[in-house]
Amino acid sequence: MVLAASLAACTVEREQPKLVGQDIHLTLIHTSDIHSRLFPYFFVPNTFDQAYGLLPANGPFGGLARIATIAKNIRKTSNRSLWLDSGDCFQGAPVFNQFKGEAEMRALSLAGLDGAVIGNHEFDLGSLNLYKQSREWGQFPLLAANYLFDDPANPQDGSLRDIVRPYQIYDVDGLKVGVIGLGNTSSLTGIFEGGNSLGFRPRDQNQVTEEYVRLLRPICDVVIVVSHLGLDEDEGLSADQVPDENTALPANGVDVILGGHLHIVTNPPKIVPNSDGHQTVLVHSGAFAKYVGRLDLVVHVGEDNSDPAKRSSVKAFSYVNIPVDSKVPDDPEVANLLWPYSVAVNRDIDLNGVFAYVNPPGGAKITRNDTSGGDSQLGNMVARSMQVQSGVEAEFALTNTLGVRADFEQGPLTVEQMFNVFPFENSITVMYLSGSEIQETLDFVARKSADRGCRTQAQVAGIYFDMVCKGSCPDPDPNDNYTPIACAKNIYLGEDCRSGVPDGPITPGKCRPVVPTGLYRVAVNDYIANGGSGFSALKRNTSKQNTGISLRDSLTVFLNKQTACTSSVIDTTDTQTPQRPVIERWGAVPCLDDQVEKHDGRIRPVFE
């Protein structure tokens, strides 16, 4: 009794502030797609990065201890704040490969993250791993309203159903903030099948949003959707025009959408009007721990949140994207937590090890996208390495363009840069495709590319074709009321099929055409083999076999076989005067010039 009385004496109850009729300042701290970039890393910021303040002189970039510093500094300037993350904190750096998400969960929890939606890469090691890491180390709620979880096989076993919430209500010093999570479905193709290994199935995001907004809006001053759907789907949630004017808009009642998945920045944010007289602020804040988004809101607190005319609403806002660079000091607590993980990773992997030198003339780099919109030099290298990998030896190889995430910059090529190019653990899958399946797959590539400015969404080796982005195309299904205008034509197997002229026609007799009834051995990555990014023809194929050979390792082996630098090649990144030859500074490493798997019209964009 004495103890109870003592505890009661220490309890302080404070009356909730009366906010109705007032304009209240709320700050949202936003991160997304951190992809295990817990430690600072080197890369060359592109034009868009630099436009958003990520300057080459301020590298290395990223690091969760720096993000923690930014978040804490923001909180010092705002009495009311929430830090929300739009998913994919897992996968993309060696620390995840070694510790399976433990470091990410511990560091984000210590840094003060308030909540996160589940991203598709959180499932890379399966649902059970995500459950274990969150249960053991996570101190913030995981959100996903559009996932319907199955019962575990053993009722006594724990599962994600026990820890994932559809929404969370935060009391931010009297301001009630409801947050709905929407997880990705487009990249998790297996969840559409009953009894899948992930243990859940998707629900329609529009229906789910409408249901939970109806629940939360009457009791919350601010309603936020934290999403890993992607920008197109986020915009679809808040569209201001629908075919049926009596159809409720999914985002009516949503004040803010914080999005992720496509690794983009929307600065300034998008403003989308809704039919209820209010608007939705849509924000994406980038990826790979390069930025922290700060969204400051002025919320007018209404007298009746169940009435659109009298409810609380966002009167004004401002947004800034804060670069995570060397100018930001580490938060000491988070840095101390991460130090043992850094030691372990660097003990096992020499991230600074140099195994090649990138040396195109004129200080150029080897790019993953070609200005023509067709095949690129780096894409060609990746596909070639898959095709000729020992044990694969395919007639041709195909991989998705977005699976190659960075360019090869001029200078020494390190192991860490290879992780920048291939942050995910994709591996080579071998399958046998008929000529008809190849036609269907490349038709899909053409349609997908046409929607993206006729910039190819695939990279290949051993095959050549015309990617017709607009033209006269065969109609595979006359009954679907849709006549395609994008397709693949003039599909040939072989090498140098255009005789060195990238925009020229196929040289007669030089390569062999793909015939519908033929059967061909093909190398693809495991992601598209399982239907990722919409490659349904590959998903249906039953002959596939995953080799377990990672694309990163395959490309490393391929590059190591290239011609070594001669003594006349000078390392232009050397800070000594005079600069030393590459062979003196880095050893007899291969030199990669502009001729190694150069752009040669394997994929030729065509407008008929």
DSSP secondary structure letters along 109-160: HHHT--EEEPPGGGGTT-HHHHHHHHHHH--S-EE-TTEEEPPPSSTTS--G
Least confident of 67-76, 133-142, 309-318, 345-354: 345-354
193 band by pLDDT with thresholds 50, 70 and 90 = low
149 band by pLDDT with thresholds 50, 70 and 90 = confident
Asked if the model's pLDDT at residue 301 lies above 90, the reply is yes
Could you give the CA distance from residue 463 to residue 481 in angstroms, rounded to a whole number? 31
Using left for φ > 0, alpha for ψ between -120 and 50, and beta otherwise, residue 310 falls in alpha
Phi and psi at residue 528, to the nearest 5°: -75, -25
Instruction: State how beta strands 458-461 and 463-470 pair.
Output: unpaired
pLDDT reported for residue 424: 86
pLDDT reported for residue 238: 54
Least confident of 53-62, 144-153, 591-600: 144-153
pLDDT reported for residue 437: 97
Q: Which CATH class is domain 23-343?
A: alpha beta
pLDDT reported for residue 276: 80
- With beta carbons less than 8 A apart as the criterion, state whether 304 and 282 touch: no
How big is the CA angle at 428 (ends 192 and 412), to the nearest 5 degrees?
125
Tokens of 15: 């009356």
Which residue, among 491, 554, 502, has the nearest Cα to 523 in the 3D structure?
554
Asked if the model's pLDDT at residue 246 lies above 50, the reply is no
- Report which of residues 565 and 244 the model is more confident about: 565
b/e string for 207-241 if b means 16 or more Cβ within 10 A? ebbbbbbeebbeebbbbbbbbbbbbebbbebbeee
User: What percent of the chain is predicted at pLDDT more than 70?
Assistant: 94
Q: What tens digit of pLDDT does each residue of 16-35 get?
A: 889 999 999 999 999 999 99
245 band by pLDDT with thresholds 50, 70 and 90 = very low
- Report which of residues 500 and 480 the model is more confident about: 500
Asked if the model's pLDDT at residue 233 lies above 90, the reply is no
Domain ranges (residues) in the chain: 23-343, 369-409+425-561+600-607
Asked if the model's pLDDT at residue 151 lies above 90, the reply is no
User: What percent of the chain is predicted at pLDDT more than 90?
Assistant: 82
pLDDT reported for residue 16: 81
Q: How far is CA 560 from CA 385, 389, 588, in A?
A: 11, 12, 10
pLDDT reported for residue 319: 98
Q: Following DSSP, what letter does each residue of 188-240 receive, concatenated?
A: -GGGGSTT-TTSEEE--HHHHHHHHHHHHGGG-SEEEEEE-S-HHHHHHHT-S
CATH topology of domain 369-409+425-561+600-607: 5'-nucleotidase;  domain 2 (3.90.780)
Average pLDDT, the chain: 92
Q: What tens digit of pLDDT does each residue of 375-398 get?
A: 999 999 999 999 999 999 999 999
Phi and psi at residue 104, to the nearest 5°: -65, -45
244 band by pLDDT with thresholds 50, 70 and 90 = very low
pLDDT reported for residue 435: 98
Q: Fold identical between 23-343 and 369-409+425-561+600-607?
A: no
Q: What tens digit of pLDDT does each residue of 94-148 get?
A: 999 999 999 999 999 999 999 999 999 999 998 999 999 999 999 999 999 999 9
Asked if the model's pLDDT at residue 479 lies above 90, the reply is no
